[in-house]
Structure 1
Amino acid sequence: MTTKPRLNICVTCTYSAADGKSEPRDGKVLFDQMKSACENRDVPFDLHPAECLTNCKSGCSVALNGAGKWGYVYGNVDAQTMIDDLCELATKYAESENGIVAWRERPDSLRRNVIARIPPLD
Structure 2
Amino acid sequence: MTTKSRLSICTTCTSSSAKGATDPRHGRELFDKMVESCAKQDMPFDIRAVECLTNCKSGCSVALSGPGKWGYVYGNLDTGMIDDLCELGRRYAGTNDGIVPWRERPESLRRNVIARIPPLD
CA distance in 2 between counterparts of 1:90 and 1:18 reads 26
Distance 1:17 1:40 in 2: 30
* Unaligned residue ranges in structure 2 (runs of 5+): none
| Aligned match of 1:60 | 60
SS at match of 1:76: strand
Q: Name whichever structure is richer in strand by fraction.
A: 2
User: In the alignment, residue 46 of structure 2 is paired with which amino acid?
Assistant: D
- Distance verdict in 2 for CA 1:116–1:3, change over 3 Å: same
The equivalent of 1:45 in structure 2 is 45
Matches of 2:19 and 2:49, distance apart in 1: 21
Instruction: Tell me the CA shift for residue 40 of structure 1.
Output: 1.7
1:43-87 Cα deviation digits (max 9, x unpaired): 0000000100000000100000000000000000111x2000000
Q: CA deviation at 1:17?
A: 7.5
Alignment of 1:96-111 (within 5 A): 96-111=95-110
- d(CA) in 2 for partners of 1:110, 1:63: 13
| Long gaps (5+) in structure 1 | none
How many positions carry a matched residue from both structures? Answer: 121
* Cα distance between partner residues in 2 of 1:43 and 1:109: 20
| Counterpart position of 1:8 | 8
Query: TM-score, with normalisation over the residues of structure 1?
Result: 0.95
Amino acid at match of 2:68: G
Partners of 1:11 and 1:26 within 8 A in 2:
yes
Contact 1:17 1:57 in 2 (8 A): no
Percent identity, please. Answer: 69
TM-score (norm: length of structure 2): 0.95
The answer to whether the 8 A contact 1:74-1:116 is kept is: yes
Q: Pairwise CA RMSD of aligned residues?
A: 1.4
Match of 2:73? 73
